[in-house]
Amino acid sequence: RTHRIAVIAGDGIGQEVVPEGVRALEAAAEAYGFELRTTEFDYASADYYLKHGTMLPDGWFEQLSAYDAIFFGAVGWPEVVPDHVSLWGSLIQFRRHFDQYVNLRPVKLLEGMKSPLAGRSPGDVDFYVVRENTEGEYSSIGGKMFEGTDRETVIQETVMTRTGVDRVLTYAFELAQRRPRRHLTSATKSNGISITMPYWDERVEEMGRRYPEVDVDKFHIDILAANFVLHPDWFDVVVGSNLFGDILSDLGPACTGTIGIAPSANINPERRFPSLFEPVHGSAPDIAGRGIANPVGQIWSAALMLEHLGEREAAAGIQRAFEKVLAGSPREVLTPDLGGDGSTQSLGKAVADGILAG
């Protein structure tokens, strides 16, 4: 088995955590017997923008299409490029052009992590957020009228298509079906948003009939957010529209402690295009260049990538390795966000050693 991976480190701590993610991938390749061919690209970064005036070169789509997956760090350096330019000029292009319509984020409280939720221990928080990643509230249909007058009006439409809703629901139901609890929760707001959200509910109900083994419930987004904090143990697979999923997929990881360990996958389930794997966090300009960023979000993203590529054992091996390191390492190994005084490299190396040790 050979996997061809495009590696894009991007900006800030992306440059520091991506090498640790690659180190984990190489250790997994050695321990589990597959071949890894990585190619690094310098675009989707502020440096590239300074040199070329754009975030991406003309041929990026053809170039990246040739890879099995994209391993991404973070993009954004607001001193040099405004955030909407860097984000829409790179990551959002990848998600839309590669039709990565599922954004998957595991939310899991690990041993050794301090949850900000009172009285919660590992096992209480272990679920997935599945976010619709290409349509919904994030449309460009709308406009501004009567600009500069007291009648100024802005409108932005939500777009839901049957194909778009059903395909992300199918992914979420399939995931729930494979999990022991077989429980799916839908985020809605059909009491207030009276056209699109009832449609979403209708599609969830219809899909539920196709998956009779999956136990389905729904909550309005406001109380759902509250229940993430009050009853995280209620959830198994949570599916939401683009906006609701975006909010829940930051709230979920926040309930488990540091943002530094949270991974995400932007997936094209049909594998027509490469999927993209990245940590939840950004480029962290406040700590960039100091070698203290937590690499676990990037390493966990590497595990999600291997799972997507069919390397289940290797993915599980990476997961076991970082869970063990987080649960039982001395201060000098752990990064400051975990209460340690170690470095990106000390933590990354400990995980890689753990992967090799099996």
3-state DSSP call for residue 268? coil
Among 137, 278, 311, 323, binds ligand NAI (CB under 6 A): 278
Tokens read off for 284:
């962290």
Q: Under rule CB under 5 A, which residues in 218-247 are in contact with Mg ion?
A: 246
**Interaction between residue 286 and ligand NAI (CB under 6 A):** yes
The answer to the question of residue 20 lying near Mg ion (CB under 5 A) is: no
Distance CA 301, CA 289 (A): 21
Work out how close the CB of 324 gets to ligand NAI at its nearest, in angstroms, rounded to a whole number. Answer: 19
Q: What are phi and psi of 37, to 5 degrees?
A: -120, 105
Distance in Å from the first CA to the final CA of the chain: 20
Stretch that binds ligand NAI, among 61-69, 76-84, 299-307, 326-334 (CB under 6 A): 76-84
Q: How far is the CB of 42 from Mg ion (least distance, A)?
A: 25
Residue 189: active-site member: yes
Residues binding Mg ion: number (CB under 5 A): 2
Which of ligand NAI, Mg ion, none interacts with 30 (beta carbon under 5 to 8 A by kind)?
none
Residue 274 · residue 67 · CB < 8 Å? yes
- Which residue number, 268 or 298, has a Cβ lying nearer to ligand NAI? 298
From residue 45, give the alpha-carbon distance in Å to each of 6, 63, 83, 226, 259: 15, 17, 11, 36, 22
Residues 226-265 as x/- pattern, contact with ligand NAI by CB under 6 A: ---------------------------------xx-----
Q: Are 137 and 117 in contact (CB under 8 A)?
A: no
Q: How far is the CB of 87 from ligand NAI (least distance, A)?
A: 6
Reduced to 3 states, what is the DSSP secondary structure of residue 275? strand
**Quick one: what does residue 246 bind among ligand NAI, Mg ion, none, with the CB cut-off 5 to 8 Å set by partner type?**
Mg ion
Q: Which stretch binds Mg ion (CB under 5 A): 185-193, 207-215, 249-257, 332-340?
A: 249-257
C-alpha distances out from residue 82 to 15, 46, 77, 78, 284, Å: 19, 10, 8, 5, 15
Binding span for ligand NAI by CB under 6 A among 58-66, 74-82, 122-130, 187-195: 74-82
CA distance 314 to 155: 48
Q: How far apart are CA 254 and CA 136, in angstroms?
A: 24
**Candidate list 40, 42, 83, 341; residue touching ligand NAI; CB under 6 A:** 83
Tell how far CA 96 is from the center of its chain. 15
CA angle 30, 100, 197 (to 5 degrees): 135
Of residues 138, 166, 201, 215, which has the active-site annotation?
A: 138
Is residue 138 annotated as a catalytic residue, yes or no? yes
Structure tokens at 273: 């295009």
- Which residues share a beta bridge with 159? 136
Q: Let me know if 101 is a catalytic residue.
A: no
Structure tokens belonging to residue 196: 């699109």
CA distance 95 to 134: 7
Q: Which does 286 bind (CB under 5 to 8 A by kind): Mg ion, ligand NAI, none?
A: ligand NAI
Q: CB 47 → ligand NAI: shortest distance, Å?
A: 14
Nearer to Mg ion (CB atom), residue 136 or residue 354: 136
- Interface residues toward Mg ion, by CB under 5 A: 246, 250
What is the set of active-site residues?
138, 189, 222, 246, 250
- Interface residues toward ligand NAI, by CB under 6 A: 13, 17, 74-76, 78, 83, 87, 91, 259-260, 278, 281-287, 293-294, 297, 337
